[in-house]
Chains A and B, each alone.
Chain A
Amino acid sequence: MDWLDVAVRVLAVLVAFLVLPLLVGQLEHKAMAHMQGRVGPMHAGGFHGWAQLVADGVKFAQKEDTIPDGADRLIFRLAPGVALVPYLVVLIAIPLGPDGMVGQAVDAGIFFVLAALGVGVLGSLIAGWASANKYALLGGLRTAAQLMAYELPLLLAAASVAMAAGTLSLPGILDAFEWWWVPWQLVGAFVFFTAGLAELQRPPFDAPIAPEEIIFGAYTEYSGLRFALFLLAEYAGIVVVSALTAVLFLGGWHGPWSDQLGWLWTLLKTGVLCFVVIWARVAWPRLRADQIQKFAWTVLVPLALAQIAFTGVIKVVTG
């Protein structure tokens, strides 16, 4: 692997990291507006308000960056970075197309990706503590409880796919993919996507943020660019979870003419899942913190275990 190749790959991942979350943000503006029977932002940039997110970014950059008096200043400043960077790292390992169209093929790719996702949540945890604000602390507590509950079904569902493919590497899983894996791993896909949604604290699992009760939880004290970084982390997280679900459960680049158009299939499947994430925000009310816990331990974990057993049985019978 020569330096030019490495540079091109890193650049491509960086561009994806900078562009895809903004596209999801724009989609969220528009999809939510249409689903709620309103027009949404229509003026910035002329055509259908396409530049609204750019304007938002400029606005955030101009705002004063306040740090509360009682806060732990260093950790308070560090937290947005801890929340955002892991998603950039994860994108390196997600395959876009066949024949090595991936930032870097990682041998234990699934573990790498899930490990990095787990680190990202540390960002909102330490943000909640360092803000020296009781609402932020409550938000941090709920984040931690939610993370611990949903890490397990997320891992189990991913393990089921790894069992089916007989490998932990993401490109390896796609190489082994057959179309009938989609119905075979359907329950696992549901568990993975739902648990991913909960790890991102997206509605209906957004009790840790809940603007109406604990005024944005861990992010209460954040303003300006640091708050924007948290928002960006949320959108990047949507992209990562959708892309992972597409790769693990929906066959990634598999589809008609996948030799030439494989990357388009990956992006298309990811885009559709991103839309579902946004749709869920508009369609469902927020679950209470205890309902969220109950759902994880009494529904998702048993479903994930059943999926693993099912995968094992099929694997042994056909093996």
Chain B
Amino acid sequence: MTERELLSTSGQEIVFVLVGLMVLGAAVLCVTTRQLVHAALWLVVALGGLAVEYLLLTAEFVAWVQVLIYLGSVVVLLLFGLMLTRAPIGPSPDADSGNRPVALAVALASAACLVTLVVDAFRTTWIDLDEPHGRSDALGDSLFRTWVLPFEALSVLLLAALVGAIALSRARRARAGTPADGGGR
């Protein structure tokens, strides 16, 4: 971290801002488009753009993990769900829900919170990008030495979410009166 003058832009920073605008545009399109699968594909663009941003910040490892987990698995899962519900080609008029204003309010509030936090935390500190920061060995060191407790807490949280999801889906099926396996025969 070094102090640097504001507004002395390098090519890397210009590209960073441009890609950031692209991510923002794709994200807005993702939530406003009326075509369900197009929304998932705009999500691909937004998440891929984020990976490019990580690359520009020399966080190579995080960028590849972003592509692997989000593009390779999460989006595939989303598309799988959309295909199972036979998402139609063309606009779906019922894709909107009445929660639109609430969702907008929550999005704006969380964005404001995050922007304030980041601006307040870093202010005018600049990362020196000439040496790579996100090398996998350095990242592994800090993750499994310094931050190992939050890491483990997160994995327990995810496990709890997983167990909860299974419990919820089984409870609903039991209430519907069909056996948990081989139902509907």
* Chain A residues proximal to chain B, CB less than 8 Å: 70-72, 75, 106-108, 111-112, 114-119, 121-122, 125-126, 128-130, 132, 137, 140-141, 144-145, 147-148, 151, 155, 167-168
Contacts and interface: CB of A to CB of B under 8 A. Distances in A.
A114 B67 CA distance: 9
Which of B61, B82, B90 has the largest count of A CB atoms less than 10 A from its CB? B61
Contacts of B132: 107
B37 interface: yes
B53 interface: no
A198 B60 CA distance: 28
Contacts of B46: none
A129 B37 contact: yes
Contact of B83 (A106, A112, A137): A137
A125 B76 contact: yes
A128 B71 contact: no
A161 B135 CA distance: 18
B79 A111 contact: no
Given A107-B61, A108-B64, A141 B73 contact: no
Contacts, number: 91
B111 interface: no
Contacts of B56: none
B76 A121 contact: yes
Contacts of B86: 137
A168 B76 CA distance: 25
Given A129-B87, A141-B84, A119 B72 contact: yes
Contacts of B75: 122
A118 B67 contact: yes
Given A118-B68, A119-B72, A144-B79, 4 more contacts: A106-B60, A107-B135, A112-B64, A122-B44
A145 B89 contact: no
B89 A144 contact: no
Chain B interface size band reads: 20 to 34
Nearest to B78: A144
18 contacts: A106-B60, A108-B60, A111-B65, A116-B67, A118-B67, A125-B76, A126-B79, A129-B89, A130-B37, A140-B79, A140-B83, A141-B80, A144-B76, A147-B76, A148-B76, A148-B77, A155-B68, A167-B137
A182 to B, nearest CB: 25
Nearest to A117: B72
B67 A129 contact: no
A117 B44 CA distance: 15
Nearest to A118: B72
A115 B136 contact: no
A145 B80 contact: yes
A102 to B, nearest CB: 16
B76 A122 contact: yes
A107 B136 contact: yes
Interface string B32-54: 00000110010010000000000
Given A107-B135, A145-B80, A118 B73 contact: yes
Nearest to B87: A129
Contact of A119 (B61, B67, B83): B67
